[in-house]
Amino acid sequence: MADPMRIRAQASGDKATVRVLMSHEMESGQRRDAAGKLVPAWHITEVTAALNGKQVLAAEWGPAVSKNPFLQFAIKGAKAGDKVAVSWKDNKGDSRTDEVTVS
Amino acid sequence: MQTRRETLKQSAVVAGLLATAGFPQFAQAAFNKAAFDARSVQDAVKAAGGASLAESKDVTITGPDIAENGAVVPLGASTSLPGVKQMLILVEKNPAALVAMFHMSDAIDANFSTRAKMGQSSDVYAVAIMNDGKALWAKKEVKVTLGGCGG
């Protein structure tokens, strides 16, 4: 679905800061198109992140998150070489997963 | 010896607790539609499982004082408190108040940043829902020069 996510995970101390840039329209469902019709809501609803296969974060998003969403969070106990996988699911049923190694 | 009646009663209590507390954090986070449809900050927090609302200095909401573009407003929520179950970011004057809800786990720092749409200048809230149901919040006013919902 769309372009791959850009994920950067950097370890510092015993934490890894993960920055994700996802590519998604994130229609809020409030906009009207040129003909005046409401553009239906199409946005990411769930985001999960896993460290080495174990889920560490679950997030639910509403239509108010910006287009091409950005997310930053910190994982405790992650070190260089660990694998961080981020996945999202949207309200149309599409989903995507991308993985990165902590540097 | 525990009678069958007592076992049934106990499971009913546990089931009731689970139902009101929402999904346990290690289960798949199902999309909490009720919380995202809520129009006011209080309703969204209640639908997410927060009971009492109290302002707290230990919860921080970060964001610009003036947002140039209401379609992309960087907002951050964090807290140093232990025992947080969920963190919510809400924009008071948006058509639907709840922007994002993060389910915590032991491996995560209670510190998130994302970018949100704001329809107009409004207060932005960060709410931390603790394991015992208390909801602690902090707010910040963000002025928006150009509304972010395309209107």
**B105 to A28: CB separation less than 8 angstroms, yes or no:** no
CATH topology of domain B26-144: Immunoglobulin-like (2.60.40)
Cβ count near A99 (within 10 Å): 13
* Three-state DSSP class for residue B14: helix
Kind of pairing between the strands at B135-144 and B53-55:
parallel
Average per-residue pLDDT in chain B?
Answer: 81
Q: For residue A60, list chain B residues with Cβ-Cβ distance below 8 A.
A: 29, 31-32, 35-36, 100-101, 103
Q: How far apart, in whole angstroms, are the C-alpha atoms of residue B49 and residue B43?
A: 10
Q: What is the domain partition of chain A in residue ranges?
A: 6-101
Region B87-110 average pLDDT: 89
Q: What is the pLDDT of residues B61-82, one digit of tens each?
A: 999 999 989 999 999 999 989 8
Q: Which of A73, A84, A86, A102 to mutate to test the interface with B (most CBs of B within 10 A)?
A: A73
CA angle B63, A96, B74 (to 5 degrees): 5
In the CATH scheme, what is the code of domain A6-101? 2.60.40.10
Q: What is the pLDDT of residues A6-30, one digit of tens each?
A: 999 999 888 899 999 999 999 988 8
Rounded to two decimals, the ipTM of the complex is 0.89
pLDDT of residue B123: 93
**A55 to B26: CB separation less than 8 angstroms, yes or no:** yes
Q: What is the domain partition of chain B in residue ranges?
A: 26-144
- Residue B10: pLDDT over 90: no
